[in-house]
Structure 1
Amino acid sequence: MATSGRTASEDAPSATDVAATLRDSDFVRIVAYADGDALAASGILARTCATIGIPFQVSATRFPTQHAESGDDEVVVTVGGMGGDVALTGRPASVTAFEAADELGGDPDSVLGLAGTVAAGTTPGANESARLLEAASDRLTRRPGVATPTEDLADGLAHSTLIHAGFSGNPGTVQAELAEIGLPVELDDDAHRRVASLVALSATGPESATQRAGEMVERAVHPYELVDEPFATLGGYADVLDAVAHEQSGTGVALALGHDARAPALDAWRNHAEKAHAVLHEATTGRYDGLFVARTDDAPVETAARLLGDFRSPEPIALVVTDDEAAAVAVDGRGLKPDSGLSAIGDAMVAAADTLNGTGTGSARRGYARFDADAKEFLSAFREAL
Structure 2
Amino acid sequence: MSTSGRTAGEDALSASDIAATLRDADFVRIVAHADGDALAAGGLLARACATAGIPFQVSATSFPAHRTDAGDDELVMTVGGQGGNVTLPEHTRPTSVVAFDVATELGGSPDPVLALAGAVAAGVSPGAGDTARLLDTADLTRRPGVSTPTEDVADGVAHSTLLHAGFSGNAGAVQAELAELDLPVELDDDAHRKIASLVALSVAGPEGATPRAGETVQRALRPYELGDDYPFATLGGYADVLDAVAQEQPGTGIALALGHDARAPALDAWRTHSKAAHAVVRNATTGRYDGLFVARTDDAPVVTAARLLGDFRSPEPIALVVTDDEAAAVAVGDRGIDDSDSGPQSNSTAGSDSNPDLVDLGNAMRTVGSRLGGDGTGSRRRGYARFDADAKEFLSAFREAV
* Conserved? CA contact 1:34–1:61, under 8 Å: yes
Q: Which residue of the partner structure matches residue 179 of structure 2?
A: 179
The answer to whether the 8 Å contact 2:244/2:274 transfers is yes
Contact 2:9 2:88 in 1 (8 A): no
User: Aligned letter for 1:103?
Assistant: E
**Secondary structure, aligned partner of 1:333:** coil
Q: Aligned runs of 1:221-300 on 2, under 5 Å? A: 221-228=221-228, 229-300=230-301
Match of 1:346 in 2: 362
Compute the displacement of 1:342 (Å): 6.4
Matching residue of 1:311: 312
Structure showing greater relative contact order (alpha-carbon pairs closer than 8 Å, 6 or more residues apart):
1
**Counterparts of residues 1-386 of structure 1 (less than 5 Å):** 9-10=9-10, 13-89=13-89, 90=91, 91-137=93-139, 140-228=140-228, 229-336=230-337, 340=356, 343-386=359-402
Looking at structure 2, the residues matched to 304 and 322 of structure 1 have their Cα atoms a distance apart, in angstroms, of: 11
- What is the DSSP-based 3-state SS (H/G/I as helix, E as strand, rest coil) of the residue aligned with 2:26? coil
Q: Which moved more, 1:236-245 or 1:340-349?
A: 340-349
Q: Deviations over 1:247-268 (max 9, x none)?
A: 0000000000000000000000
1:251 touches 1:261 (CA, 8 Å); kept in 2?
Answer: yes
Taking a change above 3 Å as real, the CA distance of residues 309 and 48 of structure 1, as seen in their structure-2 partners, is same
Question: Which ranges of structure 1 fall in alignment gaps of 5 or more residues?
Answer: none
C-alpha distance in structure 2 between counterparts of 1:384 and 1:323, whole Å: 18
- 1:128-167 Cα distance to aligned partner (Å, 9 max, x none): 1122111111xx2110000000000110000000000110
- The CA distance in 1 between the partners of 2:21 and 2:357, in whole Å, is 36
1:347 maps to a residue whose letter is N
Kindly state the Cα deviation for residue 332 of structure 1 after the two structures are TM-superposed: 2.1
2:8/2:86 contact within 8 Å kept: no
SS at match of 2:395: helix
Structure 1 counterpart of 2:87, which letter? A
| Amino acid of the structure 2 residue aligned with 1:281 | R
Please give the secondary structure, in 1, of the residue aligned with 2:333. Answer: helix
Q: Distance in 2 between matches of 1:131 and 1:279?
A: 38
State the Cα deviation string for residues 267-326 of structure 1 (Å, max 9, x = none).
Answer: 000000000000011000000000000000000000000000000000000000000010
Task: Letter of the 1:362 partner, please give it.
Answer: G
Q: What is the aligned-residue identity percentage?
A: 75
One-letter identity of the residue aligned with 1:101: A
Question: Under a length normalisation based on structure 2, what TM-score does the superposition of the two structures give?
Answer: 0.92
Shift of 1:340: 4.2
Q: CA 1:98–1:66 in 2, change beyond 3 Å: closer, same or farther?
A: same
Could you say if the C-alpha distance between residues 99 and 378 of structure 1 is closer, same or farther in structure 2, counting changes exceeding 3 Å?
same
Alpha-carbon distance in structure 1 between the residues aligned to 2:129 and 2:54:
30
Q: Who is 2:341 aligned against?
A: none
Task: Check whether the contact 2:8–2:15 (CA below 8 A) recurs between aligned residues.
Answer: no
| Whole-angstrom CA distance in 2 between matches of 1:189 and 1:232 | 16
In the alignment, the residues of structure 2 paired with residue 134 and residue 43 of structure 1 have an alpha-carbon distance, to the nearest angstrom, of 21
Tell whether the 8 Å contact from 1:154 to 1:174 is kept in structure 2 after alignment.
yes
Moved over 6 A (4+): none
Deviation at 1:376, TM superposition (A): 0.3
Check whether the contact 2:8–2:14 (CA below 8 A) recurs between aligned residues.
Answer: no
CA 1:42–1:334: 2 relative to 1, 3 Å: farther
2:301 is aligned with what amino acid? Answer: P
Q: What CA deviation, in whole Å up to 9, does each residue of 1:103-130 have, x standing for no partner?
A: 1111101111110000000011213112
Letter of the 1:32 partner, please give it: A
CA offset digits 1:13-52 (Å, max 9, x no partner): 3212221211111110000000000000000000011111
**Contact map agreement 2:8 2:87 (CA 8 A) in 1:** no
Deviation of 1:343 (Å):
4.7
2: CA distance between counterparts of 1:342 and 1:187?
48
Separation (CA, whole Å) in 2 of partners of 1:186 and 1:12? 51
Report the equivalent of 2:345: none
- Taking the aligned partners of 1:184 and 1:269, their CA distance within structure 2 comes to 28
| Cα shift readout 1:156-193 (whole Å, capped 9, x = no counterpart) | 00000000011000111000000011111000000000
Amino acid paired to 1:256? A
Bigger shift: 69-78 or 333-342?
333-342
Shifted more, 346-355 versus 255-264: the winner is 346-355
Which has the larger displacement, 123-132 or 112-121?
A: 123-132
Change in 2 beyond 3 A, CA 1:86/1:216: same
The one-letter code matched in structure 1 to 2:13 is P
Confirm or deny: 8 A CA contact 1:22 1:28 kept in the other structure. yes
Determine the C-alpha separation between the residues in 2 that align with 1:381 and 1:342. 17
Number of matched residues? 379
SS of residue in 2 equivalent to 1:368: strand
Whole-angstrom CA distance in 2 between matches of 1:361 and 1:8: 19
Distance 1:227 1:8, change over 3 A: closer
Q: Secondary structure at the match of 2:383?
A: strand
Matched residue type, 1:40: A
Please tell me whether the aligned partners of residues 12 and 87 of structure 1 are also in contact (alpha carbons under 8 angstroms): no
Mapped partners of 1:12, 1:42: distance in 2: 19
